[in-house]
Amino acid sequence: MKKITVIIPCLNEEDALPIYYKEMSKIMKQMKETEIELLFVDDGSTDRTLSVMKDLHELDGRCHYLSFSRNFGKEAAIYAGLQNADGDYVAIMDVDLQDPPALLPKMYRILEEEGYDSVATKRSTRTGEPKIRSFLSKSFYNVINRLSKTEIVNGARDYRLMKRNMVDAVLSMSEYNRFSKGIFEWVGFRTKWLEFENHERSAGETKWSMKKLFCYSLEGITGFSVAPLSFASVMGIAFCILSFLMIGVIIFRTLIWGDPVSGWPSLACIIFFVGGIQLLCTGIVGQYLSKTYLETKHRPIYIIKDSSEKEKGAAHVRESIWSKCGLDQSA
């Protein structure tokens, strides 16, 4: 019997967790030919998310959990889940049911019957999403696909099912600054894409603000393209050439009209403009330098504070102590 580990990153999702478990229970009953375990990853939640995870673990032994010492981000939660997943197949799925669990049986059949290494999903529509957010999202995919050699599918979700060989390949990329959508495409392997219409959240609110999405987009661009660095170099060369041309124009104008003083407002504007370009290029270099700095520090991507495996170990120790003392634990 094949085993599927489903990784579910969670941040303040105490309301969504019971709804998700109820839906996934139906899928687990439907897929009787497989063994399915749920691995919840608590990304430093400040509500009762961890308590709900523990309750689900007590209720159903197929539910496991990891809890971070603080909020490390969804990318760290995905990586932690992949590192701790031991299934023959590994899925990543959001807890808010925007990733429909009903697709999982079809994804599994595709991997079993059609020879693919991965089945990924993308949204065919963005119904219910703010128009400005949809526009910026499409713009990001257009920009990154122009700048990067790694093509990222427009509307791609983190929701996918992978075989073990692809999971191992993703884990071999242990970089600190992670952009999973790009990593999944970079490692290759045969992937089939499934489309589905956009689903509203089952409960709670999105944790992705415009600021977080902007920073995430920068992470993707700097992680999979050096084009911004090339842009900084090209701009530097262009302005050097322009400066030499302007020097020639000024010398020629002075020799002909003898009036080198007039035009200082336009000169001031040019100085401000060139200074802004210099600061922009310096900022681009700084972004890449900061990523390199963080990578060289070799800090852990995440820190686990609590997990269901620790609870299992503690329970085993308690049972051992009771048995050594010759006492009945239920007494």
Measured CA to CA, the distance from residue 212 to residue 295 in angstroms comes to 21
Calculate the alpha carbon distances from 26 to 16, 153, 195 in Å.
Answer: 16, 30, 22
Neighbours of 329 (CB within 10 A): 11
Measured CA to CA, the distance from residue 17 to residue 126 in angstroms comes to 24
The three-state secondary structure class of 246 is: helix
> pTM of the entire structure?
0.70
Measured CA to CA, the distance from residue 122 to residue 159 in angstroms comes to 8
User: Is 34 within 8 Å of 1 (Cβ atoms)?
Assistant: yes
Sort residue 103 into left (φ over 0), alpha (ψ -120 to 50) or beta. Answer: alpha
Report the pLDDT value the prediction gives residue 205, as an integer from 0 to 100. 64
Whether the CA torsion 144, 146, 149, 153 is positive or negative: it is positive
User: Is 142 within 8 Å of 177 (Cβ atoms)?
Assistant: no
Please write down the long-range contacts of 21-25, taking CB distance under 8 Å and 24 or more positions apart.
Answer: 21/56, 21/60, 21/63, 23/97, 23/101, 24/101, 25/60
Neighbours of 279 (CB within 10 A): 11
Report the pLDDT value the prediction gives residue 329, as an integer from 0 to 100. 43
User: Is 249 within 8 Å of 208 (Cβ atoms)?
Assistant: no
Burial of residue 28 (CB within 10 Å: 0-12, 13-18, 19+) is buried
Measured CA to CA, the distance from residue 327 to residue 331 in angstroms comes to 8
User: Is 266 within 8 Å of 274 (Cβ atoms)?
Assistant: no
Measured CA to CA, the distance from residue 66 to residue 37 in angstroms comes to 13
Measured CA to CA, the distance from residue 84 to residue 167 in angstroms comes to 11
Residues in the chain: 331
Neighbours of 3 (CB within 10 A): 15
Measured CA to CA, the distance from residue 327 to residue 319 in angstroms comes to 10
User: Is 67 within 8 Å of 53 (Cβ atoms)?
Assistant: yes
Strands 34-42, 63-68: pairing kind: parallel
Measured CA to CA, the distance from residue 5 to residue 169 in angstroms comes to 17
Report the pLDDT value the prediction gives residue 128, as an integer from 0 to 100. 59
Residue type, 11: L
Residue type, 133: R
Give the DSSP letter string of 154-174: TTEEEEEEEEHHHHHHHHT--
The three-state secondary structure class of 190 is: coil
Q: What is the pLDDT along the chain (331 residues), one digit of tens a residue?
A: 788 899 999 888 888 888 888 888 888 888 888 888 999 998 888 888 888 888 888 888 888 988 888 888 888 888 888 888 888 889 998 888 888 888 888 888 888 888 888 888 887 766 656 667 666 667 666 666 676 676 777 777 888 898 888 888 888 887 777 877 878 888 888 888 888 876 666 665 665 556 666 666 666 666 656 667 666 667 777 776 776 677 677 667 767 766 655 666 566 667 767 777 777 777 777 777 777 777 777 778 888 888 887 655 444 433 443 344 454 444 3
